[in-house]
Amino acid sequence: MLSDNQTRVEVSPGALNDQLGRPLRSLRVSVTDRCNLRCNYCMPEENYVWLPRQELLTFEEIARLVAVFTSLGVEDVRLTGGEPLLRRDLPKLVRMLAANPRIRDLALTTNGVLFAEQAEDLRAAGLHRVTLSLDTLRPERFLALAGRDAHAQVLEGIAVARRAGFTKTKLDTVVLRGVNDDELADLIEYGRGTEAEVRFIEYMDVGGATEWSIDKVFTRADMLDRLEKRYGKITPVEEISSAPAQRFTLPDGTVFGIIASTTTPFCRTCDRSRLTADGLWYLCLYAQAGVDLRRLLRAGAGMEELAARIASVWQRRTDRGAELRAATGHRGILVGIDQLRQDPHLEMHTRGG
């Protein structure tokens, strides 16, 4: 089902389109599978099978692959993880990517724990924007949700974003029924105070979410209902966008977003694909297999050969994983823990959220 205000993909003449007319435009690059939090909706286990270090792409390899993608039409590049700030010298990679004139939007998604100490370097290196994950304003709740006592560092990271000169900052909240669904208005107020746009994400049944159940999903309809009771009439923002969030306005003009991948998938406008830290390219967050670009790269493939491979795969793309999941009658977890142990690429933290 398409969301009300996102019925079309922007048509870009000459773009490399897949089978559903979706352009290759946005690339999420995971720079590490490791994370310093253990959010129970994403990485509930203490230990994981980590990607072997020698298989991780170097910064030069990442920049090279990104250059191939941008030569094919990618304009938006987002660094993610795992927790991307755990990757040593990340500003160096940012500087290399910022030198690519085809990148229109160079962004970072982080849990914020290490952001305060790196914000200025990242900004100076040419990072355009940052999205910080913030599920709660309550330290004790943070500890219970993320398994680490790092709430103060996250809030400091959010405060520093503005001081370091970042604008258009976003705060992403995964809303879990009975856990943090009572904080929606508080988070909106907090976002106002920090000049960041808050986006509420429905809990998704992706790999890694081994504790997922439909009962824990606080849906877009629930969120709008809750917020309307507090603020009055909420109006959808009319815009044509391939962004995952549908945006809404409160009566006082405050804008917030909802990413309703679970109940209202937006596959028909999805122009995103994902590169794991070890160079596997996934066309969908729900895909079970990826394309091994590291192997091609390390076998000596040149830019043209890589571009030809990527183009031919994208042109055949038919993925619409979230829609197919939504059509599943009895919905449960996507991948069990044993299967995740056998193939860590199925984990959300490996392919990047």
Nearest to residue 18, comparing CAs of 314, 273, 271, 323?
314
Tell me if 70 contacts ligand SAM by CB under 6 A: no
d(CA 257, CA 57): 33
Q: Residue 85 or 164: which CB sits closer to ligand SAM? A: 85
183, 188, 192, 195: CA torsion to nearest 10: 100
Work out the burial of residue 328: count CB atoms within 10 Å of its CB; fewer than 13 is exposed, 13-18 middle, 19 or more buried. exposed
Whether 251 and 231 have beta carbons less than 8 Å apart is answered as yes
Q: Residue 18 or 202: which CB sits closer to ligand SAM? A: 202
Distance in Å, CB of 172 to ligand SAM, minimum = 4
Distance in Å, CB of 115 to ligand SAM, minimum = 10
312: part of which helix (H) or strand (E)? helix 303-315
d(CA 105, CA 241): 15
Give me the 164-203 binding string for ligand SAM, x by CB under 6 A, dash otherwise.
Answer: --------x-x--------------------------x-x
d(CA 42, CA 204): 9
Q: Identify the residue among 70, 109, 136, 242 touching ligand SAM (CB under 6 A).
A: 109
Site for ligand SAM in 118-137 (CB under 6 A): 133
Which of the stretches 63-71, 104-112, 278-286, 316-324 binds ligand SAM when contact is defined by CB under 6 A?
Answer: 104-112
Give me the 207-246 binding string for ligand SAM, x by CB under 6 A, dash otherwise.
Answer: --x-------------------------------------
Whether 306 and 68 have beta carbons less than 8 Å apart is answered as yes
Which of the stretches 3-11, 61-69, 108-116, 280-288 binds ligand SAM when contact is defined by CB under 6 A?
Answer: 108-116
Tokens of 196: 């960041």
Q: Identify the residue among 110, 180, 219, 246 touching ligand SAM (CB under 6 A).
A: 110
Distance in Å, CB of 77 to ligand SAM, minimum = 14
d(CA 336, CA 90): 32
Tell me if 41 contacts ligand SAM by CB under 6 A: yes
Distances (CA, A) of 82 to 38, 51, 108, 163, 221: 10, 11, 12, 25, 30
Q: Residue 216 or 309: which CB sits closer to ligand SAM? A: 216
> What 8-state DSSP symbol labels residue 343?
-
Distance in Å, CB of 342 to ligand SAM, minimum = 20
Distance in Å, CB of 201 to ligand SAM, minimum = 5
Q: Residue 279 or 353: which CB sits closer to ligand SAM? A: 353
Q: Identify the residue among 56, 77, 204, 322 touching ligand SAM (CB under 6 A).
A: 204
Distances (CA, A) of 244 to 4, 223, 240, 261: 13, 16, 11, 8
Q: Residue 242 or 276: which CB sits closer to ligand SAM? A: 276
DSSP for 141-192 reads HHHHHHSSS-HHHHHHHHHHHHHTT--S-EEEEEEBTTTTGGGHHHHHHHHH
Q: Residue 160 or 209: which CB sits closer to ligand SAM? A: 209
Q: Residue 44 or 126: which CB sits closer to ligand SAM? A: 44
The residues that touch ligand SAM, with contacts defined as CB under 6 A, are 35, 41-42, 80-81, 83, 109-111, 133, 172, 174, 201, 203-204, 206, 209, 348-349, 352-353
